[in-house]
Amino acid sequence: MSISRRELFVGGLAAAGASALTLRADALPTLPSGTLKHYPEFQALADAPLPFVPPAALPGTAKPTEDNILGPYFREGAPYRAKVTPPLAKGVPMLIRGRVWGFDTKKPLAGAVLDIWQADADGRYDNDDPRNPPAKGVYVNRTRVLTDETGYYEFETVHPGAYKTGPDTWRPAHIHYLVRKTGYTNLVTQLYFKGDPRNAADEFIKASLIITLEPAKVGGGTIETGVFDVVLSAAPPKK
């Protein structure tokens, strides 16, 4: 019997619930790539080790990234995807990229987990209206991404709107980060944008967390691009 990927997934979810996924008992292993005899053009790839990546080094002057307030709108458990916003979301498209580094080793950290969350272009979080909470398992303008073997991450999003905090007070555009890597202290921080007119009046912003966006022409339009490197402090030794 042949079972589609989707059935494996749905069957596992329905049978066990998302907290304890179990593969159905009659599932077969996915065909190993070592048996690609019908696809000789893929054999070299199947046999190849991961490419060697030359190590990058953190400048000796770099300091651990400063923390910043968590805010009221974090949700644990966002899906892994390299796009924060839904398809065709309103707003100026933005690409953010960077590396996660260990302050102790000055080396990039592979497999660090970044939780990213933000307001949409109208300044709304998916969970900021208690009368209209998001469905369980539905995450809008939130993602998790992993760093690759060079510590690199990137995500696509849109420029966040300012968030209204009172009759005439706003938070400047910002993107929340929670960065976690075993052996390092979890970092809760935020990213801000140079030139935002609301930066000056914000009570939480820190100068070291402001990046400069560069315009880039893509297809028929212009997007914003920015770089945000994250430097983590080693966790204190356990007593």
Among 11, 64, 71, 134, binds ligand MBD (CB under 6 A): 71
Distance CA 130, CA 189 (A): 24
Task: Report the partner that residue 69 touches, choosing among ligand MBD, Fe ion, none (CB closer than 5 to 8 A by kind).
Answer: ligand MBD
Q: Which residue, judged by CB position, is nearest to ligand MBD in the bound state?
A: 71
Q: Report yes or no: 220 and 201 within 8 Å, Cβ to Cβ.
A: no
Which CB sits closer to ligand MBD, 95 or 175?
175
Which CB sits closer to ligand MBD, 102 or 115?
115
Task: Report the partner that residue 155 touches, choosing among ligand MBD, Fe ion, none (CB closer than 5 to 8 A by kind).
Answer: none
- In 3D, which of 187, 191, 177 has the Cα closest to residue 226? 191
Continuous segment of H or E residues that includes residue 227: strand 221-227
Q: Which residues pair with 8 in a beta bridge?
A: none
Distance of closest approach, residue 77 Cβ to ligand MBD, in angstroms: 19
Which CB sits closer to ligand MBD, 67 or 104?
67
34 residue type, one letter: G
Continuous segment of H or E residues that includes residue 193: strand 187-193
Read out DSSP for 134-173?
A: PPTT--SSEEEEE--TTSEEEEEEEPPPPEEEETTEEEPS
Draw the binding track, 176-205, toward ligand MBD (x: CB under 6 A; -: no contact): ----------------------------x-
Among 105, 165, 169, 208, binds ligand MBD (CB under 6 A): 165
Q: Report yes or no: 83 and 157 within 8 Å, Cβ to Cβ.
A: yes
Specify the 3-state DSSP secondary structure of 43: helix
159 binds ligand MBD (CB under 6 A): no
Continuous segment of H or E residues that includes residue 14: helix 5-16
Q: Interface with ligand MBD by CB under 6 A: which range of 8-16, 27-35, 56-64, 68-76? A: 68-76
Among 11, 64, 71, 91, binds Fe ion (CB under 5 A): 71
Q: What is the DSSP letter of 66?
A: P
Draw the binding track, 25-54, toward ligand MBD (x: CB under 6 A; -: no contact): ------------------------------
Give the binding site for Fe ion (CB under 5 A). Answer: 71
